Structure 1
Amino acid sequence: MRIAFVSNVVYPYVTGGAEKRIYEIGRRLAREGHDVTVYGRHYWDGPRETTLEGMTLRAVSDRRDLYTDDRRSIPEAIEFAIDTLRPLRRNHDEHDAFVASTFPYFPVFSAALARLRTDTPLITTWHEVWLDYWNDYLGRLAFGGKTVERLTAAVPQHPIAVSENTADRLARIGPSRKSISVVPNGIDYDFVRGVDPAEPGYDVLFVGRLIEDKRVNLLLRAFDRVAPEYDLTLGVIGDGPEADRLTRLAQSLDASDRIDFLGFVEDHDDVLAQMQAARVFASPSTREGFGITAVEAMAAGCTVVAADHPESAVDEVIGDAGLLVDPTTEGVRAGLERALSGYQPATEPVDRARRFDWDTVAKEALDRYGDAIDG
């Protein structure tokens, strides 16, 4: 099978969930003898076409900053889409399928145009569907974001969602629910299991971007109420626009000396080491297209405390191997207390996490790619 991935960002030169998925699936397919090409920006050193773990990397656009004032750059996305169209069109007969990550949307249109009057199917990967979240993200410009998202959903495609939640949301604006496949994100299970615990570690851990939807403020206040009784420490890994506000909140709490903000940790192995050391992984996030950190935490043996919310797919991830709580201070407090008081889930977290190993995910993805190619 000859697969062409379309993504402006390329892992490991840029680290994020969408590009990590392409890398993990792509290198496994290449290892099995499939022809894998990634069309992206030129983030690596050296020639514009190179190889990485059996995959061909083709730079169709120069390196660019992805963000403007903490928001994804619209001009960057449009530029990459324009730069992508001609190479995809010129090389379409080298590939059996185009696989495009939907965000930031515009490259999907390029891939769709490139395949016109050809037999090359367009497969899309939907990590999230924002719907009304555009109001919070773009304010008065939200109509534009909603329109582009809906137009992307209307493009003829073979859609794959990373969760049932995302698939259901996508069906509200475009393809029929029956046409949407679900292939989750994954982890390198054996690698996570083999990481040594950090010294020192924390009893409770949060990992994620510090934005409002992660609801870290609820975790801080809940932790403040249970920390003295259980003699706990809390580590917060991540950075983002809410960092200063959350730091000030933590400093105002009685348990401030038990809370450490570790910022962005560049080496992901160090993040996994902190998960190995932690007893509880807590994330009251109310918007999760999947929840990869929860899977990693389960693989590391943590009890996961997560928010039960209709815009979050984390309930699909943890199943009966963790705790779902109301996204309130009281709900998170109760979840922490239960997790620290001998709670035994119906399914062991490490067993649940094994289901999301990248080897399994890659096989599922390959099956869906084959379905699209076969028509």
Structure 2
Amino acid sequence: MPQHVPSSLRPAVPRSARPHPALPPQPRRIAFLARRDLANPAAGGSELLVDQLADGLTRQGHQVTLLCGGPAAYRDYRVVSAGGDLGHYLRARSAFTRQVGDCDLLVEVCNGMPYLAPLWHRGPTLCLVNHVHTELWSMRFPGPLAPAARLGRRLEHWSLSAAQRGNLLVAVSPSTAQALRDLGVDPERIRVVHNGVAEPGPLADRSDEPLFLAMGRLVEYKRVDLLLRLWERVRPVTGGQLVIVGDGPERDRLERMAGPGVRFTGHVSEAEKHRLLCSAWLLLHPSAVEGWGLVITEAAARGTPAIGFDVPGVRDSVEDGVTGLLARGESSFAAAWCTLALSAERRRAFGKAAAERAAHYRWANTVRQFGAVAAEAVAAHEPRPAKRPRCAR
């Protein structure tokens, strides 16, 4: 019978000979399933995030494929179009089987309408969520289209809380993570990976005259119409110009609403975008909800403070009273706009703090954090047992 040897008398094991904890397997072949490629005219922050992740993972040696709908452009990673903007949802499964095949990890980008990938994909699946569209369904489908809004909302909520059960979900902000918890998603399955921002490069000069900037896709929930109404109250106090960058289905209506001092630019080049973000006195972001206000961080990297509403996503990217101001209503938005426009000292202080905060958010960090979650998703995957053949009677 072996004798017990006190630990103090046991020979020491060299550190190099001690077993190391097993590292999670690294997925080499990663497929993203998303609605749009960055080349799509309707592309926005979600598409930029996916592009940065796919490009960064490719540079690390992963084999990355993006399966999307609508137009697509050549990238350093593989991009496959599965059909039209909406029709590709119905063809996603067959297109994945034909054009992607096996992969180590499938990343479903759930941006309102789900693909329900866990119901047909047997391998590891990770769900990437920018924001939950709860209130946006009724904005997109108002009045007589309310039944479509209710159906879309229920399908989205069920897909996130039930269809993804057992998988990890990546939220781009604490607000998105909270929205997922409110749907009943187990907090243990939620990981927060913030958006990043590119190094801004040499800064351009700030405008001598008041210049206020709004930037983003011109759709309902961005609420640029509200901004135009407030401009009529602010302009007599501040003077200057309101520049609206971007395009979208709301542009014609918004241009008809616009009064004096408003300029619409449509899409601009990266160089012009950089120049405007540098020269603006303030970035104005009246959106009803965001996942993470990416353009707010882009402006902050140029030392430009922002004003927005205290809503999900925006409250994550604006530190109220430090890097900008958050309004609780239309009147307080207008008041904040006037206050900062008339105080160069506060704008400089907010801009300096915004640039310091933005320095912590870089795409390299986003890719690194996402890669760690991807490895965790693969390690945690439990293969579903194959169906046993029925015995002949």
TM value normalised by structure 2 = 0.77
Corresponding residue for residue 279 of structure 1: 281
Corresponding residue for residue 183 of structure 1: 193
Q: Indicate which of 222, 229, 232 corresponds to 2:230.
A: 222
Larger Cα-atom Rg: 2
Instruction: Output aligned runs, 1:223-238, within 5 Å.
Output: 223-238=231-246
Contact 1:226-1:337 within 8 A present in 2 as well: yes
The RMSD of aligned alpha carbons is 2.7
Instruction: Output aligned runs, 1:33-182, within 5 Å.
Output: 33-41=61-69, 43-44=71-72, 52-53=75-76, 55-57=77-79, 59=80, 61-62=82-83, 64=84, 66=85, 73=86, 75-87=87-99, 91-92=101-102, 95-103=103-111, 105-107=113-115, 109-110=116-117, 112-115=119-122, 120-138=123-141, 139-153=146-160, 154-155=162-163, 156=165, 157-182=167-192
2:136 counterpart letter in structure 1: Y
Cα 1:202/1:42, change in 2 over 3 Å: same
In structure 1, the residue corresponding to 2:218 is in which secondary structure?
coil
Uncovered stretches (5+) of structure 2, i.e. residues with no partner: 1-25, 381-393
Contact 1:134-1:145 within 8 A present in 2 as well: yes
CA distance in 1: counterparts of 2:246 and 2:98, whole angstroms: 38
CA distance in 2: counterparts of 1:203 and 1:60, whole angstroms: 40
Corresponding residue for residue 360 of structure 2: 355
C-alpha displacement of 1:245: 3.8
Q: Indicate which of 198, 209, 213 corresponds to 1:205.
A: 213
2:213 counterpart letter in structure 1: L
1:77 counterpart letter in structure 2: Y
The 10-residue stretch of structure 1 (125-134 or 34-43) with the greater mean CA deviation from structure 2:
34-43
Cα 1:247/1:36, change in 2 over 3 Å: closer
Cα 1:103/1:215, change in 2 over 3 Å: closer
Instruction: Output aligned runs, 1:236-315, within 5 Å.
Output: 236-251=244-259, 256=260, 258-262=261-265, 264-309=266-311, 312-315=312-315
C-alpha displacement of 1:220: 2.6
Corresponding residue for residue 317 of structure 1: 317
Cα 1:161/1:19, change in 2 over 3 Å: same
Uncovered stretches (5+) of structure 1, i.e. residues with no partner: 46-50, 67-72
Contact 2:283-2:296 within 8 A present in 1 as well: yes
CA distance in 1: counterparts of 2:300 and 2:40, whole angstroms: 27
CA distance in 2: counterparts of 1:354 and 1:232, whole angstroms: 30
Percent of residue pairs identical:
25
Contact 1:124-1:158 within 8 A present in 2 as well: yes
TM value normalised by structure 1 = 0.81
In structure 2, the residue corresponding to 1:194 is in which secondary structure?
coil
Cα 1:352/1:134, change in 2 over 3 Å: same
Contact 1:202-1:277 within 8 A present in 2 as well: no
1:144 counterpart letter in structure 2: L
Q: Indicate which of 328, 340, 357 corresponds to 1:326.
A: 328
